[in-house]
Amino acid sequence: MLATLSPADRDWILGKLSPDAKSRLVGARAEGASAAGASESMGATRSSGAGERAGATAERGDSAAALIEKLTSADPDMLASVLSGEPSWLVSAILRIHDWPWSKRFLQALPPAIRVEVMQLERHGTSLALPARDLVLRTLVARLGASWTVAAPTTRFEAVLTRLKKVRRA
């Protein structure tokens, strides 16, 4: 996705990444280069009509909804730990993606200085573009990885509300 951006945008994004994130990106790029070659050869045999583009857009939307559903049940303390080294603007943008049930507990788990910055950014209403949002959601789910934990409702009332929300979505 970075390759499709303008050089100025790409440089800005890369400048905001931590050294660890840059090294992971380089590793992912190397893996993606071999996969991209295979998909390009497959793409040459297919037509790229509007129907295909609409299908790809719907597929991305479905995956974003699934990722949001998965993150909805995440443990706020684990999320705070996973996002501990990230810039405040990114944490704020994540909070704006969805009305997360864990957002208050998550904010309480942040260091006070970061919490103040995030809350100030929340007032400005900055949000991510859809491709960036999808990338952030995928990355966050991947970071949670094997250490994924589900926040247990603290009261019986919250447990009932959680079950009702699940039934209503189905």
Burial of 140 (0-12, 13-18, 19+ CB in 10 A): buried
Distance from C-alpha of 104 to C-alpha of 115, rounded to nearest angstrom: 11
Given its phi and psi angles, is residue 125 left (phi above 0), alpha (psi -120 to 50 degrees) or beta? left
pLDDT tens track for 121-142? 888 777 788 898 999 999 898 8
Both tokens of residue 23?
């090294």
Measuring CA to CA, how many Å separate 91 from each of 7, 40, 120, 136, 137?
25, 35, 12, 10, 12
CB atoms within 10 A of CB 11: 12
Of the two residues 57 and 104, the one the predictor is more confident about is: 104
Q: Where do the domains of the chain lie, and which CATH numbers do they carry? A: 75-170 (1.10.220)
pLDDT tens track for 60-96? 444 788 888 889 888 888 888 888 888 888 899 999 9
- Tell whether the model's pLDDT for residue 26 goes beyond 80: no
Q: Give pLDDT, residue 152.
A: 52
Burial of 32 (0-12, 13-18, 19+ CB in 10 A): middle
Give all strands (DSSP E) within 10-161, no chain letters: none
CA neighbor of 102 nearest in space, from 154, 45, 151, 31: 151
Amino acid at 50: A
Of the two residues 120 and 29, the one the predictor is more confident about is: 120
